[in-house]
Amino acid sequence: MKKKEICVKTKRMIIQPMSDEEIENLIEASGSDELRTAYREMLSGSKRDPENRIWYAPWKITLKNDDTYIGNLSFKGPAKDNVVEIRYGILPDQEGNGYTTEAVQAMTQWAFGNGDVVFIEAETEPENRAAQRMLEKCGFVPDGEGQEGPRYVLEKPLPNWMAIYMLFGISIGTALGTSFDSIGIGVSLGLCFGLSIGVALDSSAKKERKKLLEQRGDRKQK
């Protein structure tokens, strides 16, 4: 059976991992030694760890309307301590159209839904205010200094279990109340039941997040 292709779609673009051949072509076409080195590292990681290939390979960004290639985006390997780092690049003649913001927003949401990703980091050059403003627009916040310059981080939102289980409890309570011909009592019992579970799950999620934040803080200090 043919493996289903991974693809992230936005309003204006399609984002999908490049094949080894596409990465090799990217290396040949690049006019920068620094970029060629980076793409070779991505290709090496893709071949070395095929199970986690999508976390190493560059993802090509093409426009939906005419399949025009406008840049690429990638992660620096799979999550480590629940953290991944994202990097991106839009072709100079395609800048100023909001493509980077749209692509980064889509890919951060994709990353939060895959693997154990809780924090997404990004680094910018100190003088690149445009990149910093773009990251801030995507919800990233300043997080000290990285190897390349200012570091930004985006944290995965905590689930709102209370709201989810309150609605669940109301639904169950309504069904029970209808069966016993007392919807008011059923809804009240269901609401209390859902609320108690939701509060417990929210509390547990917050404790786990606090633990992960402490672990990330320890990792940054090393």
Task: Write out pLDDT tens, residues 126-168.
Answer: 999 999 999 999 999 999 988 889 999 999 988 776 667 666 6
CA distances from 4 to 23, 76, 203 (A): 20, 23, 38
Range of 28-32, 47-51, 113-117, 174-178 with top mean pLDDT: 47-51
- Kindly indicate the confidence band of residue 121, based on its pLDDT and cuts at 50, 70 and 90: very high
109 alpha carbon, distance to own chain's centre: 4
Rg (alpha carbons) of the chain, rounded to whole number? 22
The average pLDDT across 84-109 equals: 95
- Kindly indicate the confidence band of residue 32, based on its pLDDT and cuts at 50, 70 and 90: confident
Query: Phi and psi (nearest 5°) for 124?
Result: -130, 165
Average pLDDT taken over every residue of the chain: 86
pLDDT > 50? residue 1: no
The average pLDDT across 43-57 equals: 95
Instruction: Please tell me which residue, 146 or 41, carries the higher pLDDT value.
Output: 41
The average pLDDT across 4-12 equals: 87
Give the least confident one: 33-42, 89-98, 131-140, 211-220. Answer: 211-220
Instruction: Please tell me which residue, 107 or 157, carries the higher pLDDT value.
Output: 107
Residue type, position 208, single letter? E
CA–CA distance, 59 with 207 (Å, rounded to integer): 35
pLDDT for position 172:
67
How many Cβ atoms sit within 10 Å of the Cβ of residue 51? 7
CA distances from 73 to 18, 57, 59, 131 (A): 10, 9, 5, 14
Q: What sign does the CA torsion over 99, 88, 76, 66 have? A: positive
User: Percent of the chain beyond pLDDT 70?
Assistant: 80
Among 184, 190, 199, 196, smallest CA distance to 170 is for 190
pLDDT for position 2:
42
CA–CA distance, 108 with 46 (Å, rounded to integer): 20
CA distances from 182 to 106, 186, 191, 194, 195 (A): 46, 6, 14, 18, 20
Instruction: Please tell me which residue, 200 or 107, carries the higher pLDDT value.
Output: 107
